[in-house]
Amino acid sequence: MLLKFTKMHGLGNDFVVVDAVSRKVYFNKAQIERLGDRNRGIGFDQLLVVEPPSNPDMDFRYRIYNCDGSEVEHCGNGARCFAKFVLDRELTHKRQINVETKRGQMQLNVLDNGHVQVDMGEPSFQPADLPFLADAMQALYQVQANGETVELTPVSVGNPHAVIRVEELNDELVHSIGPAVESHDAFPNNVNVGFMQVVTRGEVNLRVYERGVGETQACGTGACAAVVAGIKQGWLDADVLVHLPGGDLRIAWQGPSTPIIMTGAAEKVFEGQIYL
């Protein structure tokens, strides 16, 4: 099969996006792994597959696969790229787009400056929603990782995150503690791990070790998780600028029973085709 694709990125978090609306496309795990190989394939953090909706009230459905072939529930940077893709390909002319994902429904708004604002839904701090194995609800939890005691805030934003506040960010911390927490027994389905340095009450630096991928240039759900965790802990205000290695995101959350609003850019890199 000759597969047409578009390579995109959201702040360096890179994607291959495939139109499965105009033509039926199916992938198996081996094909996704091959496409995701940066030496023998195209290379990406996630594969995004655009499909017709199953719900008539929705405009599209989209599925998200890590480069290891695992399907995930949610991807903020991918959602912004998705919105740009369907407009660029003229699959829709709407600037307010309603989308189904494995996690549920979401609304994407394309702004006049080309940035995309995403309603990411409400976060949950309930351990069972990640899941995270805990005896009782706590403000902060402690786990042992690489012989160290690590304090973290578990939060679900449609996919599971563990947010760790640090005084400074460095490679050794991210690449030693990151994988140890990602696969910790307390997270039966593994977890995305965010390392957040608070600069001011309205500004943070963030690096994210993503489940099934490793560290990425940017993680939209990771930015959402870090900000809502910081707000819950009393460290941050309701509107925060998040600096990631690949660029900046604006995250706003007004508190319980309200959705997280994420705003940022999405870019097309190139279009191509490859035989599967």
> Residue 66 annotated as binding?
yes
Q: Residue count of the chain, please give it.
A: 276
> Residue 13 annotated as binding?
yes
Is 168:161 a contact under the CB 8 Å cutoff?
Answer: no
> Residue 153 annotated as binding?
no
String of DSSP letters for 22-77: SS-----HHHHHHHH-TTTS---SEEEEEE--SSTT-SEEEEEEETTS-EES--HH
DSSP 8-state secondary structure symbol assigned to residue 118? E
DSSP 8-state secondary structure symbol assigned to residue 125? -
**CA–CA dist 251, 262 (Å, integer):** 5
> Residue 28 annotated as binding?
no
**CA–CA dist 196, 169 (Å, integer):** 8
> Residue 189 annotated as binding?
no
> Residue 46 annotated as binding?
yes
> Residue 76 annotated as binding?
yes
> Residue 211 annotated as binding?
yes
Is 148:141 a contact under the CB 8 Å cutoff?
Answer: no
Angle, helices 76-88/220-232, rounded to nearest 10 degrees: 140
**CA–CA dist 63, 100 (Å, integer):** 9
> Residue 192 annotated as binding?
yes
Range list of H helices, 89-210: 171-182
- Residues designated as active site: 75, 219
Residue 102 backbone dihedrals phi, psi, to 5 degrees: -60, -30
Known binding residues for substrate = 13, 46, 66, 76-77, 159, 192, 210-211, 220-221
Annotated binding site: 13, 46, 66, 76-77, 159, 192, 210-211, 220-221
